[in-house]
Amino acid sequence: MSDSKRHAPQQMTGAAMIVRALVDHGVKHIFGYPGGAVLPVYDEIFQQSDIEHILVRHEQGAGHAAEGYARSTGKPGVVLVTSGPGATNMVTPLTDALMDSIPLVCITGQVPTHLIGNDAFQECDTVGITRPCTKHNWLVRNVDDLAKVLHEAFYVATTGRPGPVVVDVPKDVQFATGTYTPPRKSDVHVSYKPQVKGDAGQIRKAVSLLVNAKRPVIYTGGGIINSGRDASKTLRALVEATGFPITSTLMGLGAYPASGKNWLGMLGMHGTYEANMAMHDCDVMLCIGARFDDRITGRTDAFSPGSKKIHIDIDPSSINKNIRVDVPIIGDAGNVMADLLQAFKAEGKAPKIDPWWFEIGRWRARNSLAYKKNNDVILPQFAIQRLFEATRGRDTYITTEVGQHQMWAAQFFGFEEPHRLMTSGGLGTMGYGLPAALGAQVAHRDSLVIDIAGDASVQMTMQEMSTAVQHELPIKIFILNNQYMGMVRQWQQLLHGNRLSHSYSEALPDFVKLADAFGCVGIQTTKPSDLDGAIKEMISVKKPVLFDCRVAALENCFPMIPSGKAHNEMLLPAEANDDATAAAFAGGKALV
């Protein structure tokens, strides 16, 4: 097709428009599951070769796979599902993507327009159900509106604070013929104008705080990763120029390298002692692309009481939501950081903060991530450290499920680059990691993609191993198997008098046999001395792997800010008296 022809309006069916719009937006892969109300689109997919379709086993898997794809590439993830149950199964990934600001474009089939509202077969109010869990959604009743809506959908999903969108397309609209126009600027709501550039006056105020800081800290989040790779480079330059210590939320890991000398580790409920103490005692806090959520702040009325707070965020509703800040700057993290860095350098002096670093050094010396070595059973922290060592220097993407293993992954796996960690931070969706690994592997066929999983979480979306086999996606599912819902149990131990109500899995599948049944490779290891060899085998296998890593059953995740406590009231592992906890169960349900 000649270029001019490509940009001219064309007549085609709604179904053809959908595929054409995807191509025009540079989409190479979509994740989906067919059904009655999307068959016309699937018929178009069958007759083309520009887009590869990944057939999942459950629509939730498609959603999380698209999230993993989006998070690991910076491009929008695209999902195609049918009406009714197809759409309702997408509710969890849509909500997950909304919470973590992941750009998703989800196209749902709908019953024909004349049947809408009739309780037709596989009908549900998709736009009604997904309204609170999308950035925006549309029901397209007229085929001539379809192209414009699709273009707008991509624009809304990927600009400003990214997020999921749904385009609901009734089956008769897919069959109808109308005019397709390629993407243009005018496709977008005039009411939607995200602010990218920060206010110069506010940036000046921020710089004057930064240059006079005695105890500064930089606190970063997923917004930097969403802003693009340049934002991480700018952040590194900013840290270099200022010499400030830096911590990050779970969602922001990798923007600044874990091996960087100014790195304090993750902050928050299971963050490091030094990161949380620095947050509590700082005099100037520079928050970039993070949102002061409740896992980060601890008790809000005792949160960093003595600091002036600068908050850079693209979403004005993130400002002053939980914590009052002194200098809000609305804008894109990368863009504002670049201006901030320039203004900071123009001041010509970085503040002397040696005493502050000395104090941080004392907190670091508490070694808050320490755990007791064990030669008999594999400790989960040790397993992740060994996994990290084995993958050093490799092109690796990590996903996680949700729970203790997720926090240990954040603590013990060093992320050096952005877009390398895919995890469900806001919604905390167990079952996220396995399909997210699929998505990341689709985007990076030759990379090593590992889901650091728990035995409970991984069973929630286990069916997607079948997708991995079908599409030859050699994902590695590294299960830290303690036979418990570990984080649930940890809370029950700490808060509910050790009454372990339904947090123990009485009947786990044999993961090695299960791997065999799926047609992938199963590996089990129980001894610390076998671990390195088993990990090496997992990495070298060119097929999907279920790795059943049997770990100490009762290990808990520390350090920790207990509920109702502030950053400077952390419970450190040495004080948590793990042995006492374990003793209560000795000989009973101790499983290792």
Partner 1 sequence: MNQPASAYFLEERHDPNETHTLSVLVANEPGVLARVIGLFSGRGYNIESLTVSETESQKHVSRITIVTTGTPMVIQQIKHQLDRMIPVYQVVDMTLTGKSIERELAMVKVKGSGDQRIEAMRLAEVFRARVVDATNESFVFEITGGTSKINQFVDLMRPIGLVEVSRTGVAAIGRGPERM
For 173, the token pair is: 């609209």
Q: Which stretch binds partner 1 (CB under 8 A): 130-138, 403-411, 523-531, 548-556?
A: 130-138
By C-beta, is 1 or 190 nearer to partner 1? 190
- Tell which positions 276-315 bind partner 1, by CB under 8 A: 294, 297-301, 315
Q: Which stretch binds partner 1 (CB under 8 A): 24-32, 256-264, 318-326, 458-466?
A: 318-326
Q: For residues 118 and 103, what is the distance between their CA atoms, to the nearest angstrom?
A: 32
**Closest among 552, 234, 571 to 372, alpha carbons compared:** 552
Closest separation in Å from C-beta 318 to partner 1: 8
Q: Which stretch binds partner 1 (CB under 8 A): 20-28, 88-96, 319-327, 449-457?
A: 319-327
274 part of the active site: no
Q: For residues 74 and 232, what is the distance between their CA atoms, to the nearest angstrom?
A: 13
Closest separation in Å from C-beta 591 to partner 1: 24
75 part of the active site: no
Q: What is the 3-state secondary structure (H, E, C) of 329-352?
A: EECCHHHHHHHHHHHHHHHCCCCC
Contact pattern for partner 1 over residues 549 through 568, marking x by CB under 8 A: --------------xx----
462 part of the active site: no
Give the residues across from 328 on adjacent strands: 311
496 binds partner 1 (CB under 8 A): yes
**Closest among 91, 77, 95, 68 to 22, alpha carbons compared:** 77
533 binds partner 1 (CB under 8 A): no
320 binds partner 1 (CB under 8 A): yes
Q: From the candidates 12, 31, 44, 59, give the one annotated as an active-site residue.
A: 59
**Closest among 22, 27, 52, 41 to 470, alpha carbons compared:** 52
Q: What is the CA radius of gyration of the chain?
A: 25
By C-beta, is 271 or 439 nearer to partner 1? 271
Q: For residues 76 and 164, what is the distance between their CA atoms, to the nearest angstrom?
A: 9
| Residue-wise DSSP of 264-305 | EEE-STTS-HHHHHHHHH-SEEEEES----HHHHSSGGGSST
By C-beta, is 144 or 537 nearer to partner 1? 144
By C-beta, is 138 or 478 nearer to partner 1? 138
121 part of the active site: yes
By C-beta, is 116 or 469 nearer to partner 1? 116
By C-beta, is 305 or 316 nearer to partner 1? 316
Distances (CA, A) of 30 to 138, 195, 297, 320: 19, 30, 37, 37
121 binds partner 1 (CB under 8 A): no
519 binds partner 1 (CB under 8 A): no
Say if residues 303 and 297 touch (Cβ distance below 8 Å): yes
Say if residues 325 and 226 touch (Cβ distance below 8 Å): no
- Tell which positions 167-206 bind partner 1, by CB under 8 A: 189-192
Count of residues that bind partner 1 according to CB under 8 A: 31
266 part of the active site: no
Q: Which stretch binds partner 1 (CB under 8 A): 31-39, 219-227, 440-448, 491-499?
A: 491-499
Closest separation in Å from C-beta 139 to partner 1: 7
156 binds partner 1 (CB under 8 A): yes
Say if residues 570 and 273 touch (Cβ distance below 8 Å): yes
Q: Which stretch binds partner 1 (CB under 8 A): 134-142, 444-452, 454-462, 575-583?
A: 134-142
Closest separation in Å from C-beta 141 to partner 1: 8
**Closest among 182, 184, 180, 183 to 12, alpha carbons compared:** 180
Say if residues 500 and 553 touch (Cβ distance below 8 Å): no
Q: For residues 373 and 591, what is the distance between their CA atoms, to the nearest angstrom?
A: 18
Q: From the candidates 11, 48, 52, 121, give the one annotated as an active-site residue.
A: 121
128 binds partner 1 (CB under 8 A): yes
Q: For residues 21 and 6, what is the distance between their CA atoms, to the nearest angstrom?
A: 12
By C-beta, is 62 or 105 nearer to partner 1? 105
Say if residues 109 and 167 touch (Cβ distance below 8 Å): no
If phi > 0 it is left, if psi is from -120 to 50 it is alpha, else beta; for residue 298 that is left
Number of neighbouring beta carbons within 10 Å of residue 527: 12
By C-beta, is 491 or 504 nearer to partner 1? 491
| Member of 6, 114, 131, 445 binding partner 1 (CB under 8 A) | 131
Q: Which stretch binds partner 1 (CB under 8 A): 177-185, 219-227, 490-498, 512-520?
A: 490-498
Q: Which residues bind partner 1 (CB under 8 A)?
A: 127-128, 131-132, 135-136, 139, 156, 161, 189-192, 294, 297-301, 315-317, 319-321, 324, 491, 495-496, 563-564
Query: Residues with catalytic annotation?
Result: 59, 121-122, 171, 487
